[in-house]
Amino acid sequence: MTSNTMRTVFPEIEPYRTGTLAVDELHTLYWEECGNPEGQPVLFLHGGPGAGTSPSHRRFFDPAHYRIVLFDQRGAGKSTPLGEYRNNTTALLIEDIEKIRVMLGIQQWLVFGGSWGSTLALAYGEAHPERCLGFILRGIFLCTKAEVDWFVNGMGYFYPEIHQRFAEAIPVEERGDLLQAYVKRLFCDDPAIYMEAARNWSRYEGSCLFLKPQAEAIASFESDEVSLGIGRLEAHYMLHGAFMEDDALIRNIARIRHLPAVIVQGRYDVICPPVSAYRLHRAWPEAAYHVIGDAGHAAMEPGIASALVQATEDFKTQRRFS
């Protein structure tokens, strides 16, 4: 970073344009543009998968400088159908990003993503490096087998009571493979069963997001609108290893190493532990690497939000991060 001063996010703004884009016979995406229509394009990729965008996500960017593009990925947020996991793979999400870029007439853009958004940002960049100006990545998730196992089982080492509640929603005889047990329920045809499973899954994640738990955030993760997308799509992508070969994002990093990037990671991120960010930085030493000592996973924790805003400010000049 160029300064030790804590930065705050920008004031709330409204989109100047919104729309929908049918990407196949099943999925229609919601998208929006904010900020300066003639500004430097930046693409925001939300987490989950399935979490969707929120008004707070617009606030990492100076609206006088940036043309801010946000969209809800397949099955998430305002995109329809909510929670739809059919025709939903990483390759298809990358195709969707390209369709949005072409529709908006953008040649290149800065790519900003956190958590699952960092996964998708890396996958998109490695598929289309010529379309990327650089990357701002937070809470790194590479969707390896080890990370999936950590999410489903390992977080119980730090949040045993929360993990116990997550596991006890499943009969004892099925607890040996919690991912498969949740998949069985999340992808069934009975709304009463899959909605309960989705709320349990989403509550589990929401309860571990912050260094200091926030009741309001946990409650939002339990809502039907949020939990169905998160529960179904996270389980879907974890079950299939994000439809990539294990550790493919690290092995293919040479495709984007020539581009400027910054990695922001909470030291006490239990959902996406720092080891993944550290592995990414070791493979991509040119990328700036900032570990926030008093933060967990959430983008809006003060130290993380400050580092992300500093990164977007630094990128105005497209200079290498320091």
Strand partners, 114: 138
Q: Where in the chain is the domain with CATH 3.40.50.1820?
A: 17-144+244-317
**pLDDT per residue as tens digits for the range 177-199:** 999 999 999 999 999 999 999 99
**pLDDT per residue as tens digits for the range 256-270:** 999 999 999 999 999
Which residues participate in catalysis according to the annotation? 115, 269, 297
Mean pLDDT to the nearest integer, 5-17: 93
**pLDDT per residue as tens digits for the range 12-69:** 999 999 999 999 999 999 999 999 999 999 999 999 999 999 999 999 999 999 999 9
Say if residues 114 and 136 touch (Cβ distance below 8 Å): no
Radius of gyration (Cα) for the chain, nearest Å?
18
Instruction: Kindly state the tokens that stand for 81.
Output: 């159908």
109 has pLDDT over 80: yes
Domain 17-144+244-317 has CATH 3.40.50.1820: yes
d(C-alpha 136, C-alpha 262), whole Å: 5
Mean pLDDT to the nearest integer, 149-165: 97
% of residues, the chain, pLDDT over 70: 97
Strand partners, 19: 31
- What pLDDT was estimated at residue 125? 98
**pLDDT per residue as tens digits for the range 57-108:** 999 999 999 999 999 999 999 999 999 999 999 999 999 999 999 999 999 9
Q: Is 290 helix (H, G, I), strand (E, B) or coil?
A: strand
- What pLDDT was estimated at residue 320? 44
Give 110's contacts (C-beta < 8 A, 6+ positions apart): 40, 41, 42, 43, 132, 133, 134, 135, 136, 312, 315
Say if residues 245 and 218 touch (Cβ distance below 8 Å): no
- What pLDDT was estimated at residue 317? 84
pLDDT band at 224 (very low <50, low <70, confident <90, very high): confident
pLDDT band at 148 (very low <50, low <70, confident <90, very high): very high
**pLDDT per residue as tens digits for the range 283-308:** 999 999 999 999 999 999 999 999 99
Q: Is 104 helix (H, G, I), strand (E, B) or coil?
A: helix
SS3 per residue for 27-83: CEEEEEEEECCCCEEEEEECCCCCCCCCHHHHHHCCCCCEEEEEECCCCCCCCECCC
